[in-house]
Structure 1
Amino acid sequence: MHSQRLIQFVAITAITSSVFANPVPPREPIDNLPRGAPLVTDEVLLLDAPAFQTGEGGEWTASVRMFTHIRQVQSKIISKAVTTAIEALGIEIGDKVSNVLERSKLFFAIPRGGISVDLDVAGCGSASMRVGETSKMGLLERSAGIGACSGSSSVRSISGYAPGFFKGRSFEALIFQSPPSGFGIVSDVDDTIKVSHVLDKKKNMQAIFVDDHEVVNGMPEFYSKLDGELGNPAWFYLTGSPYQLYPSLRKFIFEAYPKGPIITKNLTVTDIPSIFQNLSDEDIFGNYKVTQLEKLRRFYPKKKFITIGDSTQADPEAYAEFARRYPDSIQCIFIRKVEDADNREERFREAFVEVPESKWKVFTEPSEITELDVASGQCS
């Protein structure tokens, strides 16, 4: 016990010293700390998870994701370093310093690999389930059985606990249960439901780190209508943004749109400018979305999916590829035209080759699709 506390004290001292020596600490993992349960120096980011049925007896499985890292020291030195990095891109921060610090801090978190945690799911039959270990970069994604769940609730809390010197701390998220059949709605985020200016590097960075998140006009109303008319559909938000932006995206989506798990990319970016390079790689972006759609189809093999995206990147091509591979799994595809994107009719015709025209629609204003009877298959 004393030796473990000594290691923890040394770790805290080393981390604190490195912060003042290097205002933006490197993200390389620290490999000489104990593996297993989180230390008092560790933080756990548990992401919301989809849950799916895996047996005739009402058994459920959740797709659990988390990120573990060294607890970050709040420092004026770090604050200055981060704001300086943002301003170096020609972006004015003004009175939005708190936004910048909140959204950027996980990019400078030092990962902790080899961490396992015990999780409890409210109202489900399994005892505490141990998930882990996290990878060297502090990431974990795995399916874990949660047992048979009581009651009719489709949203449950999943929680864990980490020790502390004087007081431990808990971490929690939500599990969204959904049956194999029914409707599933897969929505892109940037420039589909959130104004992100993906095509303009400077404006994109400002939207990511500085400005208050802004909804795309008309999309909350359209999503509310879909939610009410499709009979409790499962919602999934599929974004090319890295997991480091998950907390701010979650807050934005949960306030403006129907709640559901947010699927982010496991990008190991090491500085703010490199984010744009990762987000703008259309080949990686498109393949990533097809892969995630196929995973959702494995979870929910009888669902009819409505996929919603925009024209800035590879949404048309990715959704069309999924529709060609699994035509019975697609109900409708909606693509929002974004100004200055490649909105040529030839592009869309080429992207949706062999996909029936009745299955997809490109729109400029949400009012063009709000009155469609999506439940009966009216997509255009």
Structure 2
Amino acid sequence: MTQPPALVRARHAQQLYQETEDEREFRTAAKFPDCEKDMPDLTARFQYSLKDSLTSYLGSRNPFYSKVDPKTDYVWLFDNTAYQNKLGRWKAEFVAAYFVKNSGKDLSKAVASIIDKIGATKDDKTEATIAKRLQPLVDSILPAHVVQLDLQGVKTRLGPSGRDGISSDELAVPGHDYQDGQVVTSKALNADATTMNTIFATPKGWAVISDVDDTIKKTLTASPTGILTTTFTEDPEPIKGMPELYQHIKSKLNNPPFWYLSASPYNLYPFLREFREAYYPAGTLILREASWMNLAGFLANLTQGTQAYKVSRMDKVHEWFPKRKFICIGDSTQKDPESYAEMYRKHPKWIGAIFIRKVTGVAQLDSGRNTEERFEQAFKGIPKNIWYVFEDPSELYAKIDSLGSP
């Protein structure tokens, strides 16, 4: 089965969760292990019928699948980007996540844990906000299920889902008269599901890969309690000047396709999609698979193995768009410089520019992650005209304008 660009399968989790030495030092200094050690168990997410459990091992070839029930189940259809194969035909990977409605037995316990960890005031509004964002992290996943999709007038089956409650199908898109940058919307049939937007991108031109937290969305904390606070209680806020910069990129570079690459778990998809829709150009959200059985896995997702994860996802995008020229935009809080540098060394003709936002005002970061030595080491051997570290988005307008044809 083809690996989805938006998710990382559970069998890859051990490799991608392996801490690097600097991640271990950072997590220890910020006391992540202390915060994680007593976070609630979420094993109820993986309690499903014996039939679904056994047949899910068959993956996409499972003949014993069930259709989703709109009364009891819900499905997320992930936005995607269509590409052209060598014959010029359009294809895309269609990823769906399947859940049982309101099945999170551990929701109240998880909400109480978050409130206790961050020291929030316990009131109805705070509890409701946390519960809404936590619900997809505690609801039971649904393996061995399918959903029917109306794909440009053609009834198409997605799935069946695997043991992680996710299906991934690489499918031809009916029709051929699509234009670069065109967006079409598909809807599920007889299912409680989100809509899916497919963006069409021709083989050549500019493209953008962007990090999310502290690149386009404000986090400005390196502590586990700070991350929990911004994720589960606060309204998401864009980084000042970045929405305008991204609109400038869209206008100046002829509406390039965007990928938003984050180490956040896919369970935050609706939350992050809504934020992106409010402030930034349309694009595919690439999020991390969440196979962990404890809420502590949420913090581990964000802080362990992020470089390996991001490079693996960029490799997949490269397979589909090897002739596009990419602008990679990230920040200094985690491993964006090292991830983009590794990708440049693998595919130097593929990346035309790397822009790293220096995140200042965060004590845990200023001491080591913002030093000139860190950036010089990360980009060692990479031409100086390729990478640039900025603090104010206004610094990038002239650089974008000077990029010219890819």
TM-score of the two chains, using structure 2 as the length reference: 0.79
User: Which amino acid is the alignment partner of residue 348 of structure 1?
Assistant: F
Q: 1:144 aligns with which of 146, 150, 171?
A: 171
User: Highest CA radius of gyration, 1 or 2?
Assistant: 1
For structure 2, the 5+ residue unaligned runs are 1-39, 53-64
Matches within 5 A, 1:268-283: 268-281=291-304
Q: Counterpart in 1 of 2:77?
A: 46
- Which whole-Å deviations, capped at 9, do the CAs of 1:283-337 have from their partners, x for residues lacking one? x210111111111111112100000001111100010011111111111000011
Conservation of the 8 A alpha-carbon contact between 1:99 and 1:212: no
Q: Counterpart in 1 of 2:239?
A: 216
Q: 2:386 aligns with which of 352, 359, 374?
A: 359
**Aligned length, in residue pairs:** 344
SS of the residue 2:354 aligns to: strand
Percent of aligned positions with the same letter in both sequences? 30
**Structure 1 residue 65: Cα displacement:** 1.1
Conservation of the 8 A alpha-carbon contact between 2:150 and 2:189: no
Q: Counterpart in 1 of 2:90?
A: 60
Alignment CA distance shift 1:240-1:226 (3 Å): same
SS of the residue 1:52 aligns to: strand
Conservation of the 8 A alpha-carbon contact between 2:219 and 2:230: yes
For structure 1, the 5+ residue unaligned runs are 1-21, 164-168
SS of the residue 1:69 aligns to: strand
Q: 2:157 aligns with which of 122, 130, 133?
A: 130
**Structure 1 residue 33: Cα displacement:** 5.3
SS of the residue 1:96 aligns to: helix
Conservation of the 8 A alpha-carbon contact between 1:201 and 1:276: yes
Conservation of the 8 A alpha-carbon contact between 1:29 and 1:113: no
Q: Counterpart in 2 of 1:162?
A: 190
Q: Counterpart in 2 of 1:166?
A: none
Q: Counterpart in 1 of 2:55?
A: none
Q: Counterpart in 1 of 2:115?
A: 87
Whole-angstrom distance in 1 between the partners of 2:194 and 2:395: 42
- Which whole-Å deviations, capped at 9, do the CAs of 1:189-242 have from their partners, x for residues lacking one? 011111123512111110011100011111111111111100010011000000
Q: 1:207 aligns with which of 210, 230, 248?
A: 230
Conservation of the 8 A alpha-carbon contact between 1:48 and 1:262: yes
User: Which amino acid is the alignment partner of residue 190 of structure 2?
Assistant: A
SS of the residue 2:389 aligns to: strand
User: Which amino acid is the alignment partner of residue 238 of structure 1?
Assistant: L
TM-score of the two chains, using structure 1 as the length reference: 0.84
Q: Counterpart in 1 of 2:135?
A: 105
Whole-angstrom distance in 1 between the partners of 2:206 and 2:129: 35
Whole-angstrom distance in 2 between the partners of 1:147 and 1:301: 23
User: Which amino acid is the alignment partner of residue 152 of structure 2?
Assistant: A
User: Which amino acid is the alignment partner of residue 300 of structure 1?
Assistant: F
Whole-angstrom distance in 2 between the partners of 1:308 and 1:273: 28
CA RMSD of aligned residues (A): 2.3
Question: Which portions of structure 1, spanning 4 or more consecutive aligned residues, are displaced by more than 6 angstroms?
Answer: 22-25
Conservation of the 8 A alpha-carbon contact between 1:155 and 1:176: yes
Matches within 5 A, 1:9-48: 26-32=44-50, 35-39=65-69, 40-48=71-79
**Structure 1 residue 132: Cα displacement:** 1.2
Whole-angstrom distance in 1 between the partners of 2:202 and 2:99: 34
Q: Counterpart in 2 of 1:15?
A: none
**Structure 1 residue 54: Cα displacement:** 1.6
Whole-angstrom distance in 2 between the partners of 1:171 and 1:264: 17
**Structure 1 residue 24: Cα displacement:** 7.0
Q: Which has the higher contact order (CA 8 A, sep 6+)?
A: 2
Whole-angstrom distance in 2 between the partners of 1:295 and 1:73: 33
**Pair 1:182 & 2:205 matched:** yes
Alignment CA distance shift 1:234-1:250 (3 Å): same
Whole-angstrom distance in 1 between the partners of 2:291 and 2:380: 35
